Structure 1
Amino acid sequence: AFMLRFFFSCLTDADWLATESFMQPGKTLQRPLWPEDIIDRMLTALEKHLARKFADAESNHVNAARESVRRDCEAAADHLSGRFFSLTVPTGGGKTLSSLLFALRHARENGLRRVIFVIPFTSIIKQNADEFRKAFAELSLELGREIVLEHHSKFDPAKETEANRLPAENWDTPLIVTTNVRFFESLFANRPRDCRKLHRTARSVLIFDEVQALPNHLLAPILRALTCLVKDLGTSAVLCTATQPALEKRGDFHVGIPPEDITPIIRDEAALFEILDRVDCHDLKAIDDEALVWHILQHASGGCLLILNTTKAARTLHEKLSGQTVKPPLTVLHLSARMCPAHVVKVLKEAKTLRKAGSPVIVVATQIVEAGVDISFPVVYRAECGLDSFAQAAGRCNRHGELAPAKGQVFLFQPTDHPIPKALGDLTTAAGITRVQILDNFRESALLSQAAIRSYFEHAIWQAGQKTADWDKPGIVSGGMPCFDPGDRSVDWAKSWSFKTAAEKFRMIDSDTHPILIPWNDAAKELADDIRQRDRLGRPLTRDHYRLAQQFSVQVYDHEWKQMQNRISQHSEGAVAILIHPENDYIRETGLKPLETSDDPRAFCC
């Protein structure tokens, strides 16, 4: 079934391009033609960038470890393609640029055509893409076109031109940065437009950053698709993470990758983890808000990062910490999904500026700040969670070894005033595994050890298999009536395959949310006014309107959406919803106000 979809992709893209060359020859001429030696030239550019970046780097154990990671990536690149590779590097170990270095060297040695960087969170994709653009800035200028194709829902339309919009249609470019959702849903898509890019994944290097974020309930179809890419289409796949999620095949995980098919890139992972051990871990167990605030004020006077499981908990602790009178005064910031992406970026920038200046700052956040965000605190607090999330939180503590020879302090706690909601069943399970299987069996000093991480994932993956019908909840490749039956050897096997059903069922994010545009700053207000004006004149919105709106939108679940109808105006036949009174319903510090919060009568005063 996968190969059939692959051939369909080839045919569809060829037909599309042939039609375009006849009907729109000018558009065809705008498509970039890449030189034969583009991978070689990109590798040279990246090596120069790395040499400049680390020439003046402080000589310490963290930077020495990062150099060791780069050397291992260079050495492992000589392996033949068509394999799985694992790149297991603790947070802050420099795996992003090192993995790209491996990919380009590996592509050059094996004649592969492109690198596809797949990232789970849109919150960090811009950070990585911008880093790549810096590395290839001179080469892009020399070629007269952008090398890095950033392809995801929140790409800034101000950066989008026809020259990079066209390669996004079929991924005809040497470096693509995209999301898990975009990549995997494209693999299982059935619409011609979405399938055009599939054949470009052949003879490529795929880097899956934060691979532990792959959803357990879809591991069977995901791993089967990746195996087809690797075994049948000569692709190399790099499983990149600080917490390798035990995806190899074993007795209680029969859908996994055979261990002999996975080549570790790091030669001595245990030694690397020991070198990059920059924090001490502590378990505060059950604790209420009052005691937690007291603990923070006593142990984190220089500032800290506090990560909660819900926006309500983050909002409550932000309010309580903001009300504290201490010397020197603390700046308390808030980060959550109740804030639009542009607002999140602004607050992160403020937090980094304060940290760099040495000013005491507490950032109260949800999981939005965990993976990939390059910020460091001397102390981090994390509400009960899976061990992988705890490790990600620890990666924001003493990230660059700046406290050496001292260590950062990371506290795990169970917030009694904010228990995990019943709706967050996966989080409840993950926190339970951490509490029962890890905290009860490992010392605090070993909570982030490779043994603890492996034990956690083995239990988490096994439990997921029990709950999700062999890691395939929607029944894509297993179950009573799978969309694709691997064991079907009948004459009419192709007629029984349900491509449309598989495309409908395969959803990386299984929730119904609705975006609401927040006119919270001048740029957002200007966009909202333009949308309203076009609606009055009966003029349609452009693609740029939709893309820019995502920078200023907050996603709300279906039940809240229904209750907010009197607070929003809908435009362009319901395609865009705008918050009518942001002065009342969007709080500068914490974002979109919960419906249960009373209105502020002063908000409407000029």
Structure 2
Amino acid sequence: MEVFKIYIAHIREKDKEIQSVEKHLLDVKTLAENFGEKIGVKHIAGLAGMLHDMGKFTKGFKEYIKKAVFTPELAPARGTVDHSTAGGKLLFDLYHTKIKSVEDIPAARLAEIVGNAIISHHSYLNDFLNGNLESPFLNRVQKKVINEYQLSKEMFFQKVMSEHNFSKYVEKAIEELTTFLEKDKTKSTEQKCMFLTKYIFSALIDADRTNTRLFEEGNNPSPKNNHKQLFESYYQRLMEKIESFQKNEDAKSKINILRNEMSEQCDKFAESPSGTYTLSIPTGGGKTLASLRYALKHAQLFDKKRIIYVVPFTTIIEQNAEEVRKILDDEVNILEHHSNIIIDDNENEEDENHDGIMSIKEKLKLAKDNWDSPIIFTTMVQFLDTFYAKGTRNIRRLHNLSEAVIIFDEVQKVPISCISLFNSALNFLKTYGKCSIILCTATQPALDFVEHKLDISPDAEIIGNLDEVIDAFKRVELVDIATRQSFNNDILVGFVEEQLEKNESILIILNTKQVVKDLYEKLIKQFSEIPTYHLSTSMCAAHRNLILRKVRDHLKNQERVICVSTQLIEAGVDVSFSCVIRSLAGLDSIAQAAGRCNRHGEMGIRKVYIIDHEEENLSKLKEIKKGKEITKMILKDLQLFPKSYGGDLLSNEAMTKYFREFYSDLSNDLNYFVKEINRNLIDLLMQKRSENIYCQAYKERNKKEIELFLVNSYGTAAQFFQVIDQHTTSVIVPYEEGKDIIASLNSNHSIEELSKLLRKAQQYTVNLYKHELDKLAHNGGLETVYNGEIYVLNDGAYNEEYGVDLENESVTGGFIF
């Protein structure tokens, strides 16, 4: 067949059309250049793009892909032909093996950064040096024998770029690297190279998968939005909405006047240069619209490409995204990204077609999941995973965080172990990513107090006269019961009964799901005539939304209602109860819970009761336990000295004291300590070469320095990273439309159809711990669809009241697979 004289990158599933290797490499180079240009590293990213599949210029790979598609029964096993090492080896051979002077070091460092991205593009970034004192990177580019390497090298220079032009191109990349490293003298070269490597890796992964998807679909790239024009129209719609508020009957109320003043301050502040700022609007102060007003105006003035909201809980995503969609009148350009639905593994395999059709795993990888949307709502877990989690699916999105306004809603919820990693990521985005970052909360954490501090801009607070604003927003009285007596659920039911004599609506927030569920069962027995609702993370987003809508209807109609919930309700959920009972926790949680009481000041001053619940097992909830201890200490201070902290548990003085104590007591945890290897993640990723214990041990053992300038352990760090203490897996549940989604995932889909389906499925997912998955599997409640790539629950494993039922006993019957 004449057509097979060309070297093949891909063979299209539907019509067996061929994409040549040179076409794929040049197209990926162009895309990667566009992604890299955003932060001034166009040629560094382009270098990765043009070399990543150089190893496909071989007879071996050509025969491999021909057999895989046309005679699959004769095909070698997937991944037996290594095509991802050759490009990294070429860079290493040309620019790393012949270092003669200090002038050669930038080129060698470039070969390490780009070479690692290239050799890793089917798995995750390799360690330069690991705990076994080995270099997986050197093993690939220096020691591994690559079949037909000379042929692939010759074909690359013949078909993609001549040796002369390649040399000139690398010179430009070296200039970019030098400029990059000269920025921000306060950070180590290792830290800057780590973030640059991850950015280049992100650009390569997204460029490679985007080009492959477009070829497979036979489509041209989608036309890009005119971001400035889009944000301008959004801003006009938002201002029309804000102006309509002024016509409401209560527009002149004290709180609404204050809300409008703070919104105006955000609008004015948007004219300031990009930086890292704080927006400390009190709970109920309208920070969603105020921060959106800042973001839309700032995006227009400073040419930002997207606006990203990062929140701690999916509950806030659903509420805020719905609110923003209504105001901006756009259902297309606003993306909610709750979680990764696809089962995540090491993804360490070659991505080529088998049996004449594209593999299911390949379709899942190519599904558009790269955060290329003008407005994105996502979670803190997803944000941190983008920088630090294993695999290629998360990091693919990283480059799209650049040139953005990023709003961290309820930023105080950053997990303690991730503080240093979080601060470092934000510092990179501000200094290199051309981002403006807003830390949005009523309770600002002391992120500039810790060792790896956040570089907050001078005069960072957007709201003026903050103490006066906080005082003006006072709508509740905090009542300390926690230091006087302890509660269990039986005592709590009696206390709720007392409060029902004075309040028509009561919200109880407790620290653990099991105690919440037990209290709910006692309440519905005791108060059968009063609508009582249960909320927890065992319920999918769509389910929680339904419950919250019912609760809001009762509140709006001033009907009696009780709601018992875990902490998911306290950060940003727009509800207003006449009474709140909060189990003792961190001071920030107490403040957020208070924000669910008398939210709009419509009921004068109402009471928020702080109790100490003896049935909560906090042994595995270290941060809540420590926060509870510090809050109790501050409460006792106020008992002894009523004028301390300005006489107010929620004052700025008390909050600063709380966070500094919290971070000091947990200082050993701030750098993400991994007990399995007795090292901090922050050291694995960013430690200076001179301080790196692996590097020192290597020298002692081998009597020589390792032949690398970078010694970071990227792969090891990713292997151990997870935002929460235990790894969770997303599972689609059979709730409402979730049933249809599960059924549909048993069918074959185009990549475009699959992308839409996976986005829709996020409303019907729950994140489960491994022991919960194991129990469900044991009880017959867990299945997989889409060729084992996506977990789903059977009917019996999801309860209409509580959500996930680990016993698989909620209803009879189930799906037939």
- Global fold match (TM > 0.5): yes
For residues 212 and 495 of structure 1, the distance between their equivalents in structure 2, rounded to whole angstroms, comes to 34
1:261 Cα shift? Answer: 4.2
Contact 2:277 2:456 in 1 (8 A): no
CA apart distance, 1:427:
1.5
Instruction: Indicate whether 1:427 and 2:629 are aligned.
Output: no
In 2, the alpha carbon distance for the partners of 1:515 and 1:64 equals 43
Count the aligned residue pairs: 565
User: How do residues 502-513 of structure 1 correspond to structure 2 at under 5 angstroms?
Assistant: 502-513=717-728
For the pair 1:590 / 2:783, whether they are aligned, the reply is no
Q: Which residue in 1 is equivalent to 2:477?
A: 280
Q: How do 1:268-307 residues align onto structure 2 when only pairs under 5 Å count?
A: 268-285=465-482, 286-301=486-501, 302-307=504-509
C-alpha distance in structure 2 between counterparts of 1:343 and 1:402, whole Å:
29
Letter in 2 for 1:72: Q
Offset, 1:264: 0.8
Alpha-carbon distance in structure 2 between the residues aligned to 1:217 and 1:496: 23
1:149 alignment partner, SS class: strand
With 177-186 and 192-201 compared, the bigger mean Cα shift is at: 192-201
Q: After the TM superposition, which residues 164-563 of structure 1 pair with which residues of structure 2 at under 5 Å, given as runs?
A: 169-188=369-388, 194-249=394-449, 253-258=450-455, 261=458, 263-285=460-482, 286-301=486-501, 302-324=504-526, 329-403=529-603, 406-416=604-614, 418-441=615-638, 443=642, 446-466=648-668, 468=669, 470-474=670-674, 479=680, 482-488=683-689, 494-514=709-729, 517-521=732-736, 523-527=737-741, 542=754, 550-563=762-775
The whole-number CA distance in structure 1 between the counterparts of 2:511 and 2:334 is 34
Instruction: Assess if the C-alpha contact under 8 Å between 2:581 and 2:608 holds in 1.
Output: yes
Equivalent in the alignment of 2:225: 33
Structure 2 Cα separation of the partners of residues 111 and 257 of structure 1: 24
Contact 2:369 2:755 in 1 (8 A): no
Give the SS at the match of 2:526.
Answer: coil
Structure 1, unpaired ranges of 5+? 156-164, 536-540
Once structures 1 and 2 are overlaid, which stretch shifts more, 206-215 or 544-553?
544-553
Is 2:69 the partner of 1:69? no
- 2:671–2:681 Cα contact (<8 Å) kept: no
Quote the offset at 1:336 in angstroms: 1.6
Whether 2:313 is the aligned partner of 1:121: answer: yes
Which position in structure 2 is the counterpart of 1:106? 298
Letter in 2 for 1:270: D
CA distance in 1, matches of 2:793, 2:682: 44
SS in structure 2 of the partner of residue 233 of structure 1: coil
Write the deviation string for residues 385-438 of structure 1: whole angstroms up to 9, x where unpaired. 1111111111110011111xx21210010123x133322222211111111234
Q: Match for residue 151 of structure 1?
A: 337
Q: TM-score, normalised by structure 2?
A: 0.63
The DSSP-based 3-state class of the residue aligned with 1:91 is coil
Cα distance in 1, alignment partners of residues 373 and 733 from structure 2: 34
Q: 1:296 to 1:245 in 2, by over 3 A?
A: same
Distance of 1:519 and 1:502 partners within structure 2: 35
CA-to-partner distance for each residue in 1:213-266, whole Å, 9 max, x for gaps?
Answer: 1111111122112112212333221111111001114xxx22113565461101
Match of 2:281 among 76, 86, 89: 89
Shift of 1:569: 4.8
How big is the shift at 1:370?
Answer: 1.4
Task: Give the whole-Å Cα distance in 2 for the aligned partners of 1:104 and 1:527.
Answer: 34
Contact 1:516/1:556 (<8 A) preserved: yes
Would you say the 8 A contact 1:154–1:547 is kept in 2?
A: no
Q: 1: CA distance between counterparts of 2:719 and 2:734? A: 33
**Could you tell me whether the CA contact under 8 Å between 1:515 and 1:554 is conserved in 2?**
yes
Identity of counterpart residues, as a percentage? 31
Give secondary structure in 2 for the equivalent of 1:409.
strand
- What is the Cα deviation at residue 542 of structure 1? 4.9
Structure-1 separation of matches of 2:524 and 2:246? 39
1:133-175 residue CA offsets vs partner (Å, 9 max, x unmatched): 12221xx5xxxx83323333389xxxxxxxxx99964434332
Q: Which moved more, 1:42-51 or 1:97-106?
A: 42-51
Cα pair distance change 1:575/1:5, threshold 3 Å: closer
Judged with a 3 Å threshold, the aligned counterparts in structure 2 of structure 1 residues 41 and 474 are, in CA distance, closer, same or farther, namely farther
Shift in Å, 1:446: 1.1
- Offset of residue 340 of structure 1: 3.0
Q: In the alignment, is the contact (CA less than 8 A) between 1:39 and 1:107 conserved in 2?
A: yes
Which residue is 1:571 aligned to? 784
- Asked if the contact 1:86–1:262 (Cα under 8 Å) also holds between the matched residues in 2, the reply is no
Q: 2:272 is aligned with what amino acid?
A: H
Gaps of 5+ in 2: 1-193, 342-364, 691-704
Alignment partners' CA distance in 2, 1:170 and 1:401: 42
Residue 109 of structure 1: CA displacement? 3.0
Deviation sequence 1:37-66 (CA, Å, 0-9, x none): 333333223222222244325131221121
User: Is the partner of 1:312 in helix, strand or coil?
Assistant: helix
2:689 aligns to what SS in structure 1? coil
Gap change, CA 1:33 and 1:338, over 3 Å in 2: closer
Cα drift, residue 383 of structure 1: 0.8
Range moving further from structure 2, 190-199 or 165-174: 165-174
Deviations 1:320-357 (A, max 9, x none): 2222259xx42211112233332222111111111111
Query: What amino acid is aligned across from residue 485 of structure 1 in structure 2?
Result: M
Summarize deviations over 1:194-226 as a string: whole Å, max 9, x none: 444323333322111110011111111221121
Change (3 A) 1:407 1:423: same
Give the Cα–Cα distance (whole angstroms) in 2 for the partners of residues 481 and 129 of structure 1. Answer: 33
Instruction: Give the distance between the partners of 1:503 and 1:188, measured in 2 at CA.
Output: 6
> In the aligned structure 2, how far is the partner of 1:241 from the partner of 1:5?
29
What is the CA distance between 1:16 and its match in structure 2? 5.1
CA distance in 2: counterparts of 1:9 and 1:557, whole angstroms: 28
- Label 1:480 to 1:121 Cα distance change in 2 as closer, same or farther (>3 A): closer
Task: Tell me how far 1:586 sits from its aligned partner.
Answer: 4.8
CA spacing shift, 1:62–1:154, aligned 2, 3 Å: farther
Q: What is the rounded CA distance, in whole Å, between the counterparts of 2:760 and 2:215 in structure 1?
A: 32
Decide whether aligned partners of structure 1 residues 270 and 34 sit closer, same or farther in structure 2, where only a CA change above 3 A counts.
same
Distance of 2:539 and 2:309 partners within structure 1: 27
Secondary structure of the structure 1 residue equivalent to 2:662: helix
Q: Secondary structure at the match of 1:4?
A: helix
CA distance in 2, matches of 1:64, 1:548: 39
2:295, 2:307 within 8 Å by CA — same for their partners in 1?
yes
- Partners of 1:173 and 1:349 in 2: CA distance: 28
Q: Match for residue 351 of structure 2? A: none
1:553 CA displacement = 4.4
Query: How much has 1:7 moved relative to structure 2?
Result: 3.7
Residue 188 of structure 1 and its aligned partner are, at CA, apart by 3.0
Q: Distance in 2 between matches of 1:289 and 1:74?
A: 47
* Change over 3 Å in CA distance of 1:110–1:124 after alignment to 2: same
